Amino acid sequence: MNKILIAGTLAFDQIETPFGKSEVIMGGAANYIAIAAAQFGVPQAVVSVVGEDYPQAFLDLLRARKVDTSAVEVVRGGKSFFWSGRYHNDMNVRDTLDTQLNVLADFKPVVPEAFRKAAIVMLGNLHPQLQLDILAQMDHKPTLVVLDTMNYWMYHTWDLLQEVIAKVDVITINDEEARQLTGEYSLVKAAQRIMAMGARFVIIKKGEHGALLFHKSQVFFAPALPLEEVFDPTGAGDTFAGGLVGYLAKSGDYSFANMKNAVVHGSNLASFCIEKFGLERMLSLSEEECNERLRRFAELTQFEIEVNT
């Protein structure tokens, strides 16, 4: 089974939605990614940093899922990364209320020895310099490097971000960010531009409107499951990425045809993530629930048309 190395934040979040306000809860990209990927029972390690205020119980939730947390630095007297945000009726839009980098400001990532040959490196949304530092520590080029990023790095670290994109195989990005990154309104043209920057696969996430996978001239679309209610979209993109890499690591097949399946698995897991605040739903998710919903995905999208030729 292929190993996954995950770089990303372990954090405290506080979230407001039209349905209510959460406590200060467990958050951060690396948590969402690792807990989603753990559905596939694959060996993972997280490279991250937390403060002394970060509960041991949160790390234990990862360890219980076979996630190596030896490369999570705990900074004495430091405070963990904190984010708070507010969603409106249109859950595709959110306001950031507060971001406190805290220990993340001086983070020097160290890839654990046992994961320097990992087949998959999942670079969660972080400063592009940290993402480059991670890649530089790998023994050789991983089979698949997957990048998540955001508009902030496009504004502030454009050159570094371009350097990262040139080194990755897959980029996951939302629709507005894809437009900002390329100056193209059309997502088809935006994806082509991003492939020209170096990524072989481009996944454009459209929130409730699903996700598009581009590779060369091919395109695949996975809808989001139509739900009665989106309770909290926080972490949906990271959960999608976790499902993607978890499934790919388990199957060891990196073809376009299998990447389609990986996108469906990612969408499937994301559809659970948004049902409750933060990681709550993901932490109670069973394999049976996953499989039942995969069948709903198939019913939702599969049809039978005979094309006259």
How is residue 267 written in tokens?
């969408």
> Shortest distance, CB of residue 30 to a second copy, whole angstroms?
26
Note whether 189 binds a second copy by CB under 8 A.
Answer: yes
Q: Please identify which residue in 66, 86, 200, 260 interacts with a second copy, judged by CB under 8 A.
A: 260
User: Is 220 near a second copy (CB under 8 A)?
Assistant: yes
Taking the complex as a whole, the smallest distance from the CB of residue 256 to a second copy amounts, in Å, to 10
67 forms beta bridges with 44
State in angstroms the smallest separation of the CB of 89 from a second copy: 5
Bridge partners (DSSP) of residue 4 are: 44, 120
Tokens 């499951």 correspond to 225
Angle of CA points 68, 140, 150, to nearest 5°: 65
State the distance between the two ends of the chain, measured CA to CA, in whole angstroms: 42
In this structure, what token pair is assigned to residue 51?
């403060």
265 touches a second copy (CB under 8 A): yes
Give the residue, chosen from 61, 161, 187, 194, that forms a contact with a second copy under the rule CB under 8 A.
Answer: 187
257 in contact with a second copy (CB under 8 A): yes
* Nearest to a second copy of 91, 279 (CB atom): 91
Closest listed residue to residue 3, CA positions, set 130, 154, 113: 113
Q: CA 36, 196, 217, 249: dihedral to nearest 10 degrees?
A: -30
Q: Closest Cα partner for 92 from 211, 234, 6, 208?
A: 208
**Near a second copy by CB under 8 A, which window of 56-64, 96-104, 149-157, 217-225?**
217-225
| Residue 176 makes contact with a second copy by CB under 8 A | no
Using the rule CB under 8 A, is 186 a contact of a second copy?
yes
- Asked if 57 is part of the footprint of a second copy (rule: CB under 8 A), the reply reads no
Q: Which stretch binds a second copy (CB under 8 A): 38-46, 156-164, 275-283, 296-304?
A: 296-304
188 binds a second copy (CB under 8 A): yes
Q: Site for a second copy (CB under 8 A): which residue of 52, 139, 287, 289?
A: 287
Q: Which residues of 300-309 are buried (b: 16+ CB within 10 A; e: fewer)?
A: eeeeeeeeee
